[in-house]
Amino acid sequence: MFSSQSAEINLETHLSSLESVQGDRSTNRFLAGSCSVGEPNFLCVLRFHSSLNELGIDAHLEHATGPVGVICCNPNDSKQVLTVAQESQTATLWTIPEEVISRDDEPEYNPEGGGTVELNQPQDEDHALEQVATLVDFEGEGPIVDMSWRFTGSDFGEPPSDLAGGSVLSLDRVGRVTLWDIEALQTVKSAAAGKETTTSKPRILAPRMAWDPHNPETLAVTAGEGVRLIDWRTDATVTSDSISQITRAHRYGVCDVDYNPNKPHVLATSGQDGLLKFWDLRQNSRPLLLTARGGHSHYASRIKYNPFHDQLVLSCGTDGVENLWRASSISSAPLLDEDGEQNVRVVRQEHGDAVTALSWGAADAWVYMSAAYDGKVRLNHVPSKEKYKILL
């Protein structure tokens, strides 16, 4: 829990997606998706061995539908995962073999091999993904670029979703959001995020979305340089009042968006300008907080709040940098720091290629992982000093 060392492994394939296994609350497992062209693609099941601070590969599961573009894990069942192949208009629901997802063997110390640790070998030959169903939106207008699977249990005090059985959202490239009833395998409703809020150039960035953890009826969708809010109770994009959108969130375009998990009405965005911004949706004419320049020298492609401690925020970019930030002053529980630094970068790590994905661990609030396009994945820990500031 209090380790500060990184664990790294090279999967030796191009990576574009990464997601923690949300349904596993006891072991830090992650799924990484390969995106190679002209050769087989896989979902790599990764497990963190905390006793040795090492990453191991539990399985390479062939992804028959093509290069993996999106991974979306079922937060209620560790064996179920939705994936979308790149440039595909359909999503596939898979079941991961029980022998793989519940694997708990530990690496062995080999004194005869120079004291090396022999990590568990992938179980590839006898196990494969089981295809359960395919989600097809016949009204879709483009490939699916993002998905979200909402937790409907009560482990964290959240009441079950009442969205007519719908617990999955999909977003296509033109900004159309679809709500799915995953049990019935059919669409419930859909809405368009509207035209992108930019006057400069046509859409190049694929849109991203975030589901409001405080209200299952609302979500935010990036659209060019701005962010649009959708309220399912209106069956349309809200456009009538001033808080329905952020028109110029980032110069050149918004790359990603995420809601504060503990504080309502607060939204974080990252952009092609290399900046991170934090917004109060009740008064969004200017950001609550703008991170200092220098965090990223190129596109800030992803931003993620810690799901438990909203003082911590992750970002990564095409400059090969991943950052851990302290955004204390706008959090639900601002830190009383004797040094007077409430908003500061805590950790900076560099990869050899663009960082394409980030994920917080589902079993440990202090663990996070990043994946680079060159195939390297790295697991890091929040520094002990930062943990104590939050916990004490």
What is the pLDDT at residue 284?
Answer: 80
Question: Which class for 37: exposed (0-12), middle (13-18), buried (19 or more C-beta within 10 A)?
Answer: exposed
The average confidence (pLDDT) of the chain is 86
Eight-class DSSP state of 96:
-
What is the pLDDT at residue 212?
Answer: 95
CA triple 133-233-184, angle to 5 deg: 20
Whether the predicted pLDDT of 22 surpasses 60:
yes
Cβ contact 221:228 at 8 Å: yes
Q: Is the pTM of this model over 0.85?
A: yes
142-197 per-position pLDDT tens digit: 999 999 998 765 544 444 444 444 589 999 999 999 999 988 888 888 888 765 55
Please state which of the ranges 102-106, 182-186, 275-279, 284-288 shows the lowest mean pLDDT.
284-288
46-78 per-position pLDDT tens digit: 999 988 899 999 999 999 999 999 999 999 999
Strand partners of residue 128: none
Whether the predicted pLDDT of 297 surpasses 80:
yes
- What the block records as the tokens of 249 is 């969130």
Whether the predicted pLDDT of 390 surpasses 60:
yes
What is the pLDDT at residue 234?
Answer: 74
Cβ contact 316:323 at 8 Å: yes
SS3 88: coil
- Give the sheet arrangement for strand 54-62, strand by strand: 15-20, 29-34, 42-49, 54-62
What is the pLDDT at residue 161?
Answer: 46
What is the pLDDT at residue 376?
Answer: 97
What is the pLDDT at residue 331?
Answer: 94
What is the pLDDT at residue 199?
Answer: 47
The residue whose two tokens read 């302290």 is 326
Of the two residues 13 and 343, the one the predictor is more confident about is 13
What is the pLDDT at residue 377?
Answer: 97
What is the pLDDT averaged over residues 317-336?
92
Of the two residues 250 and 204, the one the predictor is more confident about is 250
What is the pLDDT averaged over residues 200-229?
86
What is the pLDDT at residue 231?
Answer: 87
- What the block records as the tokens of 299 is 């596109």
Whether the predicted pLDDT of 116 surpasses 50:
no
d(CA 60, CA 46): 9
DSSP string for residues in 344-360: EEEEEEE-SS-EEEEEE
Whether the predicted pLDDT of 124 surpasses 60:
no
- What the block records as the tokens of 152 is 């409907």
Of the two residues 119 and 154, the one the predictor is more confident about is 119
Please state which of the ranges 113-127, 321-335, 355-369 shows the lowest mean pLDDT.
113-127
- What the block records as the tokens of 182 is 């995953």
Task: Please report, in angstroms and rounded to a whole number, the separation of the first and last CA atoms in the chain.
Answer: 16
Question: In this structure, is the dihedral angle defined by the CA atoms of residues 228, 231, 235 and 240, taken in order, positive or negative?
Answer: negative
Residues 6 or more apart in contact with residue 243 via CB below 8 angstroms: 229, 281, 282, 283, 284
Of the two residues 385 and 110, the one the predictor is more confident about is 385
Strand partners of residue 229: 220
pLDDT band at 276 (very low <50, low <70, confident <90, very high): very high
What is the pLDDT at residue 106?
Answer: 82
d(CA 337, CA 340): 5
Question: SS3 string of 358-385?
Answer: EEECCCCCCEEEEEECCCEEEEEECCHH
The residue whose two tokens read 């409001």 is 212
Question: In this structure, is the dihedral angle defined by the CA atoms of residues 149, 153, 158 and 163, taken in order, positive or negative?
Answer: positive
Q: Classify domain 7-103+122-136 at the CATH topology level.
A: Methylamine Dehydrogenase; Chain H (2.130.10)
What is the pLDDT at residue 160?
Answer: 46
Residues 6 or more apart in contact with residue 311 via CB below 8 angstroms: 326, 327, 328, 331, 333, 334, 335, 390
d(CA 69, CA 172): 12
26-38 per-position pLDDT tens digit: 999 999 999 998 8
